[in-house]
Amino acid sequence: MMATDRDYYDILGVSKDATEEEIKKAYKRLARKNHPDVSKDNKKEAEKKFKEISEAYEVLMDSEKRARYDRFGKEGVQFEGGNFTWSDFTHQADIEDIFRDLFGGFGESDLFSRIFGTGTTRRRRGTRRVAVGENARIRLNLSLKEAAEGVEKKIKVRLFEKCEHCGSKGGKITTCQQCKGTGEIRNIQRSIFGQFVSISTCPRCGGEGKVITEPCRYCHGEGRIKKEKQISVHIPAGVETGNYMTLRGTGNVGKRGGIKGDIIVDISVKENKRFTREGNNIRLRVPISYKTATMGGKIEVPTLDGKVRLTIPPHTQSGKVFIIKEKGIGSLHGGRRGDELVEVYIWAPRRLSKKAQKLLEELDKELKSPPEIK
Ligand SMILES: [Zn+2]
Ligand SMILES: [Zn+2]
């Protein structure tokens, strides 16, 4: 994550000459407000804020760092890895103090488990952690016509499916001896601030409380096997390259009886050699003969669904655009379909027969010259 660019004093809402006591007070107030398990904001946002105020607190509570920050700004207080991480934070004891009455000490909050390295998926007692399968991303190439009209596509994917051989259990299961089935290990830690209990995920069973003693020989204990599968995806009209669709709960199944992740379909629309897309319209350039341009006539024009006849009125100049309504791209939001824009230009033949040359010379004498540019 990028280091925060806001001023540390602003972040904590204190003045430049705030005392340590004032800084502590401000931090305490903000920490309580932004703690991800308490805050009304979303968890990620709250965690970001919590980290931001902690970074400011770390610097401003250290008189030496604070002096350098005052003189040189953030340049003066580089953290070890460049940006502030929780391993740079030296005031765990203060946080413990702040939240003692809220959570009854360390280890009761998911955030603390995460930031102070006590395992990322601490399970709550009595609930089993269910593995969620990985999302699968697939790329889908569509023709312009398919994007314009929508299409039902069948796609082959290789996904983890339940292992039938072991009933997705992964093999013979027994209670983990290391944690006695609780999935966690408690450590008493002593520091100069006192003693606290930290809880970490059991390394033997990875927090599941159970271990596989005889892994299934088909899935090697995963409880799932990769299989090829065909899925059907309905693509609505109007999609374009960069759009994606999330098919919830249709992806890889999680390990040992877990639930399915998602399939994410990345859409890519192939270039069309005839038509260029302009939003929901498509544009096509069509050559017409000199005679048709001057005297009018009918031409055949391709569209995404077959040819149509188009009337060219007399006295049509190159660059004139005719609109064929609703032959463009369907609307993703349910509005009307876009149009086809037919841009005509007068075609000049490359080779002329002697006769054609002579006739043209005669014709040129007969016609008026083009208007002068004013
Ligand atoms: Zn265990
Ligand atoms: Zn199996």
Please write the tens of the pLDDT for every residue from 255-279.
988 899 999 999 999 999 999 999 9
Long-range pairs of 122-131 with CB within 8 A, sequence gap ≥ 24: 122/184, 122/199, 122/201, 122/207, 123/183, 123/184, 123/207, 125/182, 128/208, 129/183, 129/207, 129/208, 130/254, 130/257, 130/258, 130/259, 131/254, 131/255, 131/256, 131/257, 131/258, 131/259
- Tell me how many degrees the CA angle 81-107-13 measures, rounded to the nearest 5: 55
CA of 114 to the centre of ligand 1 (A): 19
For residue 65, the model assigns a pLDDT of: 87
Smallest-distance ligand from the CA of 161: 2
CA of 175 to the centre of ligand 1 (A): 8
Smallest-distance ligand from the CA of 164: 2
Count of C-beta atoms within a 10 Å radius of residue 81: 9
Which residue type does 304 have? Answer: L
Which residue type does 179 have? Answer: C
Least confident among 70-74, 256-260, 264-268, 349-353? 70-74
CA of 259 to the centre of ligand 1 (A): 22
Only one residue has tokens 């023709």, namely 143
User: Residue 205: is it exposed, middle or buried by C-beta count within 10 angstroms (0-12/13-18/19+)?
Assistant: buried
CA of 185 to the centre of ligand 1 (A): 8
Nearest Cα residue to 279 out of 342, 322, 319, 332: 332
The CATH fold of domain 136-269: Chaperone, DNAj Protein; Chain A (2.10.230)
CA of 34 to the centre of ligand 1 (A): 33
Nearest Cα residue to 98 out of 88, 106, 90, 87: 106
Residue ranges covered by each domain of the chain: 8-115, 136-269, 276-366
**CATH code at 276-366:** 2.60.260.20
Please write the tens of the pLDDT for every residue from 31-40.
888 776 666 6
CA of 125 to the centre of ligand 2 (A): 27
Which residues, at least 6 apart from 140, have a Cβ–Cβ distance to it below 8 Å?
153, 155, 233, 235, 265, 266, 267, 268
Nearest Cα residue to 155 out of 269, 265, 270: 265
Residue 227 pLDDT more than 70? yes
Evaluate whether 109 touches 43 at the Cβ level (below 8 Å).
Answer: no
Smallest-distance ligand from the CA of 215: 2
CA of 135 to the centre of ligand 2 (A): 21
Q: What is the percentage of the chain residues whose pLDDT exceeds 70?
A: 87
Smallest-distance ligand from the CA of 185: 1
- The model carries a pTM of 0.58
Please write the tens of the pLDDT for every residue from 87-110.
778 887 777 777 765 554 444 455
The CATH fold of domain 8-115: Helix Hairpins (1.10.287)
Residue 147 pLDDT more than 90? yes
Please write the tens of the pLDDT for every residue from 295-331.
999 999 999 999 999 999 999 999 999 999 999 999 9
**Partners of 144 in the β-ladder:** none
User: Residue 361: is it exposed, middle or buried by C-beta count within 10 angstroms (0-12/13-18/19+)?
Assistant: exposed
Residue 335 pLDDT more than 60? yes
CA of 225 to the centre of ligand 2 (A): 7
For residue 111, the model assigns a pLDDT of: 58
160: left (phi over 0), alpha (psi -120 to 50) or beta: beta
Residue 228 pLDDT more than 60? yes
